Structure 1
């Protein structure tokens, strides 16, 4: 093999790897990157049970898939559902939400004159 054909073969291999990585979904990338353990409950997964391990987007934006995996974490089905339920509840019951029950803030202080009353009793 000549130097140019060796370089060409190397470039072809690099391009093929890049194409494979691009076609590979973020779940496959995350499973290659991280240990097969739930990030919340620490259960380990292997074999057929690996399908119970899901990729959670930390910022809840499924279009944000950086190649370094910084927006992903592996969670089991149960922990993933719990995380999304908590996020939904947070959105639903936030202060700016129309659905949030509005309660008035107490302004009356029933003990404001207590010190004066105690002083009068001591006399």
Structure 2
């Protein structure tokens, strides 16, 4: 039995590296990456500063609340920390009264409907 170890498949590694570079290039075309290159890494509301270690907590807010409106000059974007971003959207929902995400159907059942009868049986 031969136990020779073969080296890493250099063609496979080259494909992985090429794919990783292509993926990074594609991500850079996204509005978040463009905004991070365009603006300083500071929250536009609370002025908290960000570094590479906590950059995932810095988000891009669309000023007109239209996520499809991404002009090349970044005029519809501002960088906000996750807390200020949530606050901004909460204020927008309060102002417009439009909360499509939180439309919840009214309860149709009463879980305590038979409680009086159960308590009566148990008590005597």
Structure 2-normalised TM-score?
A: 0.56
SS of match in other structure, 1:40: coil
Query: Is the radius of gyration larger for structure 1 or structure 2?
Result: 1
CA shift digits 1:24-80 (9 cap, x unpaired): 100000000000000000000002200000000000000000000000000000000
Uncovered stretches (5+) of structure 1, i.e. residues with no partner: 1-19, 94-123
Counterpart-to-counterpart distance in 1, 2:27 and 2:59 = 20
Counterpart-to-counterpart distance in 1, 2:67 and 2:40 = 21
SS of match in other structure, 1:86: helix
Which of 86, 91, 106 is matched with 1:81 structurally?
86
CA drift of 1:23 comes to: 6.1
* Cα distance change, pair 37–22 in 1 and its aligned pair in 2 (3 A): closer
Aligned residues: 74
Counterpart-to-counterpart distance in 2, 1:48 and 1:62 = 26
Residue 27, structure 1, aligned to residue 35, structure 2: no
Uncovered stretches (5+) of structure 2, i.e. residues with no partner: 1-24, 99-124
Residue 44, structure 1, aligned to residue 49, structure 2: yes
Counterpart-to-counterpart distance in 1, 2:35 and 2:49 = 15
List structure 1 runs of 4+ shifted beyond 2 angstroms.
Answer: 20-23
Q: CA RMSD in A?
A: 1.9
Structure 1-normalised TM-score?
A: 0.57
